[in-house]
Chain A
Amino acid sequence: MNLNIYSFISDEKAVLEPNNDIISTALVVVGFVVFAAILSKTFIAFNNNSNSLENYEQAAMIAEDIASSPSIQGSRPELISAETLDRICEPSATEKRYLFFQRFSSNIDFYVEISTVDGNYKWTIDEGSTFSNGRDVIAASVPVVIELGSTARCVPGTVTVKLIQHRWK
């Protein structure tokens, strides 16, 4: 049997002919399903992105706020005092930490990490109840200047706010 183009044109057995409509409907259905899948996927991706962007903006705003917070300010408004950070991070200073976090609404979970760029010093401020256990964390950092000790030795550092996502999101 030779399968050249002529055999297709002159083939008059019409095996598929009676079910033409089913084949074309199946094609339309498949096309529509693919279209709907792409549409919903795009929407889900967009929604996720805008959600994370919004959360990031929130974290960035909190980070800026904390970087300029008077409660950890050093001898000048643009400096962060390492001594104050040490005092806030002491295990017994729960009241200081409470007052540090009181301004923020209780329905957002976050903790703050402040470190020097050279990595020699690192402080973590949390209320003891923030565990990420498997939840998504969104972090934002701002650069700050940290005043070490009383000799007014200043080193560059960063304030990082880690916002823990609610599980139901």
Chain B
Amino acid sequence: MKKQKEVGIEDIITNETAWADLILSKTALILATAIILTAVYSLSGTYSDLAKKDELEAIAVGLMSNINSAGSARPGADDTIRTYYFDINSGKLADHENLNVSVSCEYVVCTLEDRERNISAVRPLCYSTLPFTPGKVRSILTERFAASGNISQPVNSVFPYADVTEFLAMKGTEELFLNMSKEVHIQKTSVFVTDGSKVNELEYILVYQ
């Protein structure tokens, strides 16, 4: 029977075949390569997401700036209905079936459902906005206050008109989803309120299709 070799601390120190060294350094090399490849891959993935987000932001900003410029237009000369067409030819995403553009009273939201993840771009609006047609505004005001808010039929409300503004703001939080192949109408309108002695004007911007 072969005599078992004794392994002492002396042997480990003086052993110069360095197999542990080799295995450790090669493992470290493989790990490092794997990590670098993952990092490069995720970086390029992030880049394509960024490109999509840029395009979504361009769509959101285009609509937002049109709504804002409708708001800053002075009444009189510019009191007509503005029409905005989405630029569907420039980008890759415009005709995407999972692209949703919506307007509520505070924000323009542009969302793309992309492989179970949502990429979105949100822009706040500068002016008080309602996602309704002019007829809808008058009808919901008539339904609630029995007055349409026209100059001839002002809504009875006292300062700070919280009942009117909060009612409209609450109604306006429902998002209006826009069809990008159709034009969007943007119009300025006024809701007149009266406290019995004088009539005041509350300005809103209407966005509808």
Contacts and interface: CB of A to CB of B under 8 A. Distances in A.
Given A18-B21, A22-B28, A103 B36 contact: no
Contacts of A18: 18, 21, 25
A32 B74 CA distance: 55
Contacts, number: 80
Nearest to A65: B72
A68 B106 CA distance: 24
A108 B29 CA distance: 53
B112 interface: no
Given A22-B25, A22-B29, A29-B32, A105 B18 contact: no
A63 to B, nearest CB: 10
B43 to A, nearest CB: 7
Interface in B160-209: 160-161, 165, 169, 200-203
A108 B127 CA distance: 9
A102 B61 contact: no
Interface string B41-83: 0010000001000000000010000001101101100000000
A103 B29 contact: no
Contacts of B75: 70
Contacts of B91: none
A102 to B, nearest CB: 5
A68 B78 CA distance: 14
B146 interface: no
B129 interface: yes
B169 A99 contact: no
Nearest to B74: A68
Contact of B36 (A32, A54, A64, A102): A32
B124 A98 contact: no
Given A102-B203, A106-B169, A61 B68 contact: yes
B172 to A, nearest CB: 10
A43 B126 CA distance: 27
A21 B29 contact: yes
Contacts of A36: 39, 43
B25 A28 contact: no
A62 interface: yes
Contacts of B50: 43
A25 B159 CA distance: 72
A104 interface: yes
A28 B128 contact: no
A107 interface: yes
A133 interface: no
Given A68-B74, A95-B160, A107-B106, A62 B18 contact: no
B141 to A, nearest CB: 16
Interface in B16-47: 18, 21, 25-26, 28-29, 32-33, 35-36, 39-40, 43
A98 B160 contact: yes
A70 B124 contact: no
Contacts of A29: 32, 35-36
Closest 7 CB pairs of A and B: A65-B72, A103-B203, A25-B32, A95-B159, A107-B106, A105-B125, A21-B29
23 contacts: A18-B18, A18-B21, A18-B25, A19-B25, A21-B25, A22-B29, A25-B32, A28-B32, A29-B32, A32-B40, A61-B68, A65-B71, A95-B200, A98-B160, A99-B201, A99-B202, A102-B128, A105-B105, A105-B106, A105-B126, A107-B106, A107-B125, A108-B124
Interface of A: 18-19, 21-22, 25, 28-29, 32, 36, 39, 43, 54, 58, 61-62, 64-65, 68, 70, 94-95, 98-99, 102-108
